[in-house]
Structure 1
Amino acid sequence: MSAHLKTIEQRLLWLSHWMIHNANHIRPKADGIKVGGHQASSASMVSIMTALYFQSLRPEDRVAVKPHASPIFHAIQYLMGNQTRERMENFRGYGGVQSYPSRTKDIDDVDFSTGSVGLGVAVTSFASIVQDYIQAKSWGGDQKMGRMIALVGDAELDEGNIYEALQEGWKNDLRNCWWIIDYNRQSLDGVVREGLFKRIEQIFDAFGWDVVRVKYGHLQRAAFEEIGGDKLRQWIDDCPNQLYSALTFMGGAIWRERLMDALGDQGDVTALIERRTDVELAELMENLGGNCVQTMADTFAAIDHDRPVCFLAYTIKGWGTPIAGHKDNHGGLMNKTQMGDWQDHMGVPQGQEWDKFATIADPTAFEIELKKTPFFTKGPRRFIDDVIDVPKIELTSDREISTQMAFGKILDSLSKCDNKFAERIVTTSPDVTGTTNLGPWVNRRKLFARDHQEDTFKNENIPSTAKWEFTPEGQHIELGIAEMNLFLLLAAAGLSHSVFGKRLIPIGTVYDPFVSRGLDALNYACYQDARFMIVGTPSGVTLSYEGGAHQSIASPLIGMSQDGLAAFEPAFADELAVIMEWSFNHLQKDGESDPDERTWLRDETGGSVYLRLTTNPIEQPGKRVDDAFKQGAIDGAYWLREPGPNCEVVIAYQGAVAPEAIKAAGTIGEGRRDVGVLAVTSADRLNAGWTAAQRARTNGNKAAASHIETILQGLPRNCVLITVIDGHPATLSWMGGVWGHKTISHGVEHFGQTGSIADLYRHFRLDADALVSSASELSLGRQIPHIRSVG
C-alpha cells in the first residue's frame, strides 16, 4: 500500500472532518448545542494513523487510539467496510459512532476503549505483560506475539498514571509496546511548554525505552540538503511552539515575511525561500515528521526489535485544514464557509461527501488494493475462548474466622487442584499480597516472571512464610503500590479471552479504602467489559487499630453504583464460598437474555465481581446446605431469622457487623413477640433488581417483583427496619422505600480513628446496644422519621 498512503491519508482527513461537520452544521439539532468532535486533534494524527494501519500493523497487533482521534479511526473502519454510513452520519448521536472508541458500544473493531485520557495509553503496557504471561504457559499456544500500541496526545503525558505504568513496565521487563506521541504542543487550554520533549525523552530513557524523535518530514529534510538549509533547520529548532503555531495559522505569506526578516539577508537561505511560492513555503514549514505519512511509515518499518519504543512525532494541530495552528482549535470547528472552501481544495464533488472513493480515479482497483492491507486481511480480530468449568467451592467452619482468611483458604484449596480452572487463575496485588491472604496461593503457584529468579532468602536458608520464587510458570503478578496499575492490569487480563484468545480468571486484592485510588481505572476496566474479581480487604472501621486512613466508608456505595460490577459483602465463610463459585461462572458469561424474573437481574450477560471482606474473625453459623440460603446469598439477601406474621422489628445487616445484629435481635426479642434478622450479602444486587422490576412494571409487566420485594412483602405495615453496615448508611437505607416501612439506618459517615473494634462500633453506633436503643424508641412512642441516618 506504500504507493497509496498519501491518497488514503487525504481520504481519511476528509471523511473524518465531514463526519464532524455533518453532526454540527447539517444534521438537525434536537437541543441546539454543539455536538463537537475535535477536528484539529484528528487532523494532527491522520498521517500517523494512515502509516500505522495501512503499512505497519499486523493482525496480531492491538491499538489504543487517542480519544480525540476517534473520527480518524472510524473513518479508517468506514473506508474498509467495517463501519456503516448510517452510524457515521449519526456521529455522537444515539446509536451512532461513539465520541471516543468503545469496545462495547461501537460496531467496528476497537481493541481498547479510550476516553479518560492516559488510561488507554497505560493499558497497552499491561496488555503486553499479559501477552507475555500467556506465552510463557504450556497452554499458551503458538499465537504470534503482537505489539501493543498506544496513540498518545502530548497533553496526556500530564496524567500521573502514565508514569506509574512506566515504572511497572520496567520492573516487568516490558517488551512489544509502542507509544506514539502526537506532539502537536497544543492542549485544551493552551500551548505545551517549551522543551517538554527533553523531559519526556529523559523519562522514557530512564525506564529502558528507545526514544525515536520524528521531527522533520521529507520536504523539510530535502530542503535542509539545499544550500542554506542548515540555517532554516536551526531557525525551525529555535522557533517557540506558540510562534510556530501562530505562523501556521496565518499561512504562507506570513511565513515568508517572518523567515525573510530572520534569514533574508543571509544569501543562500534567501534563495531557498524565494524558490518556493507561498503555498509551497507553507507546505514545507508544515511538513513536520508526524504530518508526513511516508516519513512515519519509514520510521515504523525501521524498528527491528521488541524493546519498548516511544515515538515522539512532531505534528501541527489541525494540519491540512483552515484552522491549523490556531490556539483555540482544540474544540473549534470549521464553519460552513471554511468547509465549502476546503471541500474545493480537497477536490470532493458536491453530493459525494460520503462517497468513500470520491476523489479516486479507479475506485475498483483502489478497493482491491485496500483489501490487501495486512492488518485487515484476517477480518475482525476478536477471539472467543471456551468457558472453563468451575469446581465445587465449599468452606464451612465451626470456629471463628474472618472473610479475608476464608478467602485465602479458598484460594489455597484451589492452588492444590490440578485442573484447567486452577491453571487459568492469575492473581495480582499492589504490594499487599501477604496482608490480603494471597500468601498460601503464591507459595504454591509462585510469582510470574519471563525469566526464572531465585528466592534469595530460601537459598540462604533464612526461614520465611513467603516462599516467593519467580518463574515463567508463576501465576501471581506482583505489582508496586499504585492501585491504578492494579486495575489496569485487571482490565488487560480480563480481556485476554477476546484480545489473545486465552481465557484468564484474574483476581486482584487491594486494601478496601484504596479502591478509591484506582477508581478511574476500575471504571475504565468495567466500561471495556473486562472480567475480573477484585477483593477489597480489610474494610471498614472494623480494621480498628489501623486508623481512619485505612478504614473505608464509601466503598459499598462504589460497589452499588459501578456498572458492570456485582458487589458482595458476605459476613460468613460459607456465604463467601457460595458467592465465589457463582462469581467464577459470572466472569465467563457473555450471553443475551431477558432478565431472570426471580431477581430481574440480567445475570446471563456476566460481568466482574467485587468482594468487600474484613479481618475480624466472627463466630460461624455452622454447616448450612439448604438451597434457600445458597440462592439468597447469590441474589443478595436471605432470612437468618425469619419473621412471623406479627413482626415489629427487622434488623437488616451487611458484612462484619453480623454478630451485633444477631445479639441485638436476641435482646429485642426478650420484650417483643417477633424480630426478624435479614442477612444482606449484596445491597448492590438487591437494589439493581428492585429498580429493574420497577421499570418492568412501568413497561406493562404488573407481575414483576424483585428479590427484595418478595422478601419484605410479608412484613406488617407498622414493622420497622433497622439497618446496619460498617460503611455508609445509605447502602441499606433505601430498603424502607420498597414497601414503605419506617427505617432507622446505622452506618459510618465520618472518618474513622484508632481504637478497638468495640470502641469504634460504640462510637459509630454499630454495636448491639445502639441497635437495641433504636428499637426501644418504638416502645417509648417516639415519632420515628421514615428514614433516619444515625452515626
Structure 2
Amino acid sequence: MTHVTIPHPAGHLKTVEQRLLWLSHWMIHNANHLRDNPDGIKVGGHQASSASMVSILTALYFSTLRPGDRVAVKPHASPLFHAMHYLMGNLDRDAMERFRGYGGVQSYPSRTKDKDDVDFSTGSVGFGAAITVFSSIVQDFISAKPWGGKPEGRMISLIGDAELDEGNVYEALQEGWKHGLRNCWWVVDYNRQSLDGIVQEGLWERIEKIFEAFGWRVVKVKYGALQRAAFNEPGGDRLKQWIDDCPNQLYSALTYMGGATWRARLMDALGDQGDVSKLIASRSDDELAALMEGLGGNCVETMAETFAAIDDDMPTCFLAYTVKGWGTPIAGHKDNHGGLMTVAQMAEWQEHMGIPHGAEWDRFAGVEDEAGFRAFLDAVPFFAAGSRRYSDRRIEVPSIETPGDRVIASQLAFGKIMDALGRSDSGLAERIMTLSPDVTGTTSLGPWVNRRKLFARRELADVFRAERIPSTAKWDFLPEGQHVELGIAENNLFTALGAAGLSHALFGRRVFPIGTLYDPFVCRGLDALIYACYQDARFMVVGTPSGVALAPEGGAHQSIGTPLVGMSQDGLAAFEPAFADELAIIMEWAFDYMQRDGKADLDERTWLRDETGGSVYLRLSTAPLEQPQREVNERFREHVIAGAYWMREPGPNCEAVIVYQGVVAPEAIRAAGILGECRRDIGVLAVTSADRLNAGWTAAQRVRSRGVKDAASHIERLLQDLPAHCRIVTVIDGHPATLAWVGSVHGHRTIPLGVEHFGQTGTIADLRRHFEIDAQAIVDRVNGLTAGRPGYIRVVS
C-alpha cells in the first residue's frame, strides 16, 4: 500500500487509519497464531472485513461524530472498534490480547460484555441497522415530551453490503418511512464480497432505488482522492469508464494480484500509445495499485468530506465503495472473509507498515509526530465527553389494583390495568410507551390508547371522529401521544422494544416500553427478541391470545412452544398468570424490575439474581375465568413473584399433586375436586412462572455444590413435605416440557400433560379434550388409566 501525504488535519486522520489497520490486524493475528490455543481450532477475527471499513470508521469517529451520536458497528468490524478504544486509552492491552478469548473483547461489539463504550450490540446481521431506525423514533418520542429534554443525536449504522440481504432491514425501512424518520445514517461498506463469494452485479442500483423509495437520500461514494485527481488528467475519463464497467469479480481478482497485473490488464484494455498509456505508465506498480484500490470508502479524506457535507436531519444512506482486505496482502481474494494472513504474510506486512519488532502493541508505533498526534486525539469531540452511558432516576411505581370483575380473562385484565394507568397522573404512566404490530385493539390496548393517544411528530386528526362516524377507537396522532403503532412485523416490534428499552442509557431518559402481539408470533420475531435481550434492554412484552384457548382460529394461531422460549431466554423473566390478582402483582413488580441495575447477588429466598433487573414476558389468554376470592397478603405476593403458590395445599398423606400454569387453572381445580372424593389430601400448585421456578432450582443446586448445604429454592420448599409415593401431574396450555422437570426436584413420579402438536378449530372444551389437558384427562392420569375411556381421543402425530 502506498502512503499518501495529506495536509493537516487530514494527515492525522490518515495516521489514525493506519494505526487502527495495524492494531486490529495484529490483535487477530495474535489470537490465531501467537496465543496458546488448547482447542486447536481457528479463532478467527475477520481481518479483511475490518480493513474494508477502516477509512469509514476513522473518518466517522475522529472527524464527524459528536457525543450525542450513537453507532451500531458492523459485526465483522469489531476488531477495528476495539483497536480504536485501545488507541484512545479506553481499553487495556490485556483485553486486546485476549480477543475472542475468556475475559477478552468480544467477537462482535457487545454493550453488555465488552469493556469499551459500545452503543448497540451487533452480531445477528441486519439488526444493527434496524435498531438505529427505532432509536431515532424513540429519540423523537422523548424529545416531544415535557420530561424528555431535547436529545438530537444521529443514529448511525455501519453495515456490510451483505447485511442488506436480511429481510428485517426492509421491514425497518418501511416503518421508518411511516414515522417520518430523521437523524439516521446508514453507511454501507460496499466491498461487494460476502462469506461465500462476490455479490451480484448492479446491486448498488437496487439499493439506491429502495432507499429513495422510502424517502432516504443516497450518497454514492465511489472514487477516492487519488482517483478523482487521475480522472482530471488527460485520458482520465476513459479510466473512469473502465472502472465503472469492470465486473465485481474481476476488480477483486485484479486487486489481489497487485500492481503489475493491474498494469498489464489496463494497458491491454485501454492502452492507446497516448494519454491513457501515459497516465498508466507515469505510476509505479505500487502507485498504480494504490490508485485502482483507492475507492471512495477507502479514502479517509473523501469519507470525512462526504460526512461533513451533510448538515440536515434527512435519513441518509452512504454507499461507500471499498476493497475487502484493503491495504493488506489478502485484499480482493474471494476467500478472504474468514481468511487470515499467514505468519509469513504478516511478517512482510509488518515491515511494510513500519512497525518495529517488539513494538507491535505500542499504540503510537511508527508515528513521527507523536506529540502532535496525541494532541489531535485529545481534542476529538466524540471522545472528549468521556463515557456516554447515561442513566435516569428511578420512577416510583404506584400500587396496581386488581380489576374487580367476577369473571375475566387475563388479557382483558391487562387491558383494564393499562386503562387505569392511563387515567392516572403518575410519573410511571407518563413514561410508558406502548407498541403493537397492528393488533392494538385485539390485544386490549384500545382503552389505554384512547386516553393517551398515538405518537406522531406532527398532529393528525382522526377523520372518523371528525366526520362523526361511531368508533370505539379514538385515533388521534399527537407529539404527546404515547402509543407507537407499527405495521404487521414482529421483528420491528422487538427491535423497537430493544431501542426503547435502552432509552435511559442512550438518552438519559427512562421510558417503560410495553409491546403486545399475538403469542403465536413471538417466534416470528424471536431473533429480534433475543437481540433486544442481549442488549440488556428493559421492556415488557405481552403475548396474547395464547395456546389452544384461541380455539376457533385453528393451529396457525395457537402457540405451543412459547413457554419454553420464556424459560430459555436470558434477560427475560417469563410469567403466565391465570388470574387478575396475580397479573396485577406481577405488573407492579415488573415496572420496578425493569429499572433495576444492581449486582448479580443471589436472593437467598429464591436464589434468583433479581437485583440485576431485566425484561418481562407475560403470556396471557382470552379465555374468561372465574376469579378466586382471596386475601392478597405479602406472603401471597412473594410466592406469585417467586413463581408458584399452593392453590390447594396438600395434606400429610397426599397421593397426588396437580401442578398447572396459566389458563388451564379451572381444569386443574375441577380435577382436584373429583379426585378429592376418592383420594387423600390432593394438592393443587398454581405456577405463575415456570421460568423463575426452574432458574431458582438450578441456581440453588449450583450453590449447594459450592458448600452452602442449606440452600433451597422456592420450588424445593413448596414440595419438600410431599410423601415419596405422591404422584405429580403437570398441565399447561403449551408444551408439556415446560413443567415436566418438576418431579425431578424431589424425585416424584411425574406425568406431564400439554400440547405437542398443531391444533385445529373447535371450542375450548373440544381442544382441551383432544389434547388431554382437561379435568377428566388429569383424573385419569392420576388414576393410572389409559386410552379406552368414553370420549377418549387419541392424538396421532
For Structure 1 versus Structure 2, the TM-score category normalised by the shorter chain is: over 0.9
Deviation at 1:627, TM superposition (A): 2.4
In structure 2, the partner of 1:480 is: 487
How big is each residue's C-alpha offset from its partner over 1:303-328, in whole Å with a ceiling of 9 and x where there is no partner?
01100000000000000000000010
- Partner SS for 1:531: coil
| Contact 2:641–2:688 (Cα < 8 Å) also in 1 | yes
Q: State yes or no: 1:37 paired with 2:45.
A: yes
Moved over 4 A (4+): none
Distance, in Å, in 1 between the alignment partners of 2:232 and 2:509 is 52
Structure 1 residue 593: deviation in Å?
A: 4.4
- Paired residue for 1:783? none
Superposed counterparts of 1:11-160, under 5 Å: 11-143=19-151, 145-160=152-167
For 1:156 and 1:596, the matched residues in 2 are separated by 42
- Superposed, 1:246-645 pairs within 5 Å as 246-265=253-272, 267-645=274-652
Structure 1 counterpart of 2:74, one-letter code:
K
For 1:605, give the aligned amino acid: T
Cα contact 2:52–2:189 (8 A) shared by 1: yes
C-alpha contact (below 8 Å) 2:105/2:114 kept by paired residues: yes
Residues 403 and 417 of structure 2 are in contact (CA less than 8 Å); yes or no, is this contact kept in structure 1? no
Aligned position for 1:189 = 196
Please state how far the C-alpha of 1:267 moved relative to its aligned partner.
2.0
2: distance between equivalents of 1:77 and 1:421?
A: 37
Separation of aligned partners in 1, 2:405 and 2:369: 79
2:773 equivalent in structure 1: 766
**Counterpart residue identity of residue 627, structure 1:** E
* 2:680 counterpart of 1:657: no
User: Which one of 733, 747, 753 corresponds to residue 746 of structure 1?
Assistant: 753
Distance across 2 between alignment mates of 1:346 and 1:156 = 31
- 1:674 Cα deviation after fit: 1.1
Query: 1:713-749 CA distances to partner (integer Å, 9 max, x unpaired)?
Result: 1000010000000000000000010000000111000
How big is the shift at 1:3?
3.3
C-alpha deviation, 1:626, in angstroms: 2.5
Task: Tell whether the 8 Å contact from 2:74 to 2:157 is kept in structure 1 after alignment.
Answer: yes
Secondary structure in 2 aligned to 1:106? coil
Q: Which amino acid aligns with 1:51?
A: A
Cα separation, 1, equivalents of 2:608 and 2:235: 72
1:78-125 Cα shifts (integer Å, max 9, x gaps): 011111100000000001010000001001100000000000111000
Aligned AA (1:386): R
> Could you say what secondary structure the match of 1:694 adopts?
helix
Worse-superposed segment, 316-325 or 771-780: 771-780
Give yes or no for contact 1:37–1:71 (8 Å, CA) kept in 2. yes
Distance 1:215 1:593 in 2: 49
Distance in 1 (CA, whole Å) between partners of 2:403 and 2:706 is 43
CA deviations over 1:516-542 (Å, ceiling 9, x no partner): 010000000000100000000000001
Equivalent residue number for residue 242 of structure 1:
249
For residue 53 of structure 1, give the secondary structure of its aligned residue in structure 2: helix
Residues in 2 aligned to 1:520 and 1:629: alpha-carbon distance in whole angstroms: 35
CA contact (8 A) 2:220 2:318 kept: yes
Secondary structure of the residue that 1:19 maps to in structure 2? Answer: helix
Matched-pair contact (CA < 8 Å) for 1:397–1:620 = no
Deviation sequence 1:361-392 (CA, Å, 0-9, x none): 23233212201001011001110100100000
AA partner of residue 40 (structure 2): G
Aligned partners of 1:397 and 1:623 also within 8 Å: no
> What amino acid is the match of 1:433?
T
Partner of 1:680: 687
Deviation of 1:30 (Å): 1.6
| Deviation (angstroms), 1:702 | 1.0
- Tell me, what secondary structure is at the counterpart of 1:734? helix
Confirm or deny: 8 A CA contact 1:447 1:470 kept in the other structure: yes
CA distance in 1, matches of 2:276, 2:86: 44
Q: How far apart are 1:397 and its partner, in Å?
A: 3.1
Corresponding residue of 2:183: 176
What secondary structure, in the 3-state scheme, does the structure 2 residue paired with 1:96 have? coil
Matched residue, 1:784? none
Aligned residue type for 1:233: K
- Tell me the TM-score normalised to structure 1 length: 0.98
Cα separation, 1, equivalents of 2:785 and 2:292: 82
Cα deviation for residue 463 of structure 1 reads: 0.4
CA distance in 1, matches of 2:723, 2:774: 26
Give distance in 1, aligned partners of 2:744 and 2:536: 31
In structure 1, C-alpha distance between the alignment counterparts of 2:388 and 2:682, rounded to whole Å: 57
1:669-726 superposed Cα distances (whole Å, 9 cap, x missing partner): 0001210000000000000000000100111111111000000010000100000000
Which deviations, in whole Å up to 9, do the C-alpha atoms of 1:581-634 show, x marking residues without a partner? Answer: 001100000000420111100000000000000000010001422222211110
Q: CA separation in 2, counterparts of 1:456 and 1:569?
A: 39
State the distance in 1 between where 2:626 and 2:333 align: 68
Which of 713, 720, 741 aligns to 1:713? It is 720
* SS of alignment partner, residue 777 of structure 1: coil
1:569/1:655 contact within 8 Å kept: yes
Deviation at 1:666, TM superposition (A): 0.1
SS of 1:740 mapped into structure 2: coil
Post-superposition Cα deviations, 1:417-461, rounded to whole Å, max 9, x if no partner, equal: 112111000000000000000000000000000000000000000
Indicate conservation of the 8 Å contact 2:142/2:148, yes or no.
yes
Q: Measure, in 1, the Cα distance between the counterparts of 2:506 and 2:718.
A: 42
Is contact 2:64–2:308 with CA below 8 Å preserved after alignment? yes
For residue 790 of structure 1, report the CA deviation from its aligned partner.
Answer: 11
- Structure 2, unaligned runs of 5 or more: 1-8, 788-794
The DSSP-based 3-state class of the residue aligned with 1:211 is strand
SS in 2 for 1:646: coil
Post-superposition offset of 1:770: 0.5
C-alpha contact 1:765 1:790 (8 A) present in aligned 2: no
* In 2: Cα distance, 1:220 partner to 1:523 partner: 44
Aligned to 1:218: 225
Structure 1 CA distance for aligned equivalents of residues 685 and 583 of structure 2: 17
Give the distance between the partners of 2:496 and 2:667, measured in 1 at CA. Answer: 38
Aligned to 1:785: none
Extract unaligned runs of 5+ from structure 1: 781-788
Distance 1:322 1:3 in 2: 24
Provide the C-alpha distance between the structure 2 equivalents of 1:683 and 1:260, rounded to a whole number of angstroms: 72
CA contact (8 A) 1:745 1:790 kept: no
Q: Which string of whole-angstrom CA distances, capped at 9 and with x for unpartnered residues, describes residues 391-432 of structure 1?
A: 001214351100000000000000011121110000000000
Secondary structure at the aligned position of 1:246 is classed as helix
Code of the residue aligned with 2:324 in structure 1: it is K
Alignment: residue pair count: 782
**2:653 match: secondary structure:** coil
Question: Aligned equivalents of 2:172 and 2:606: distance in 1?
Answer: 40
Shift of 1:266: 5.6
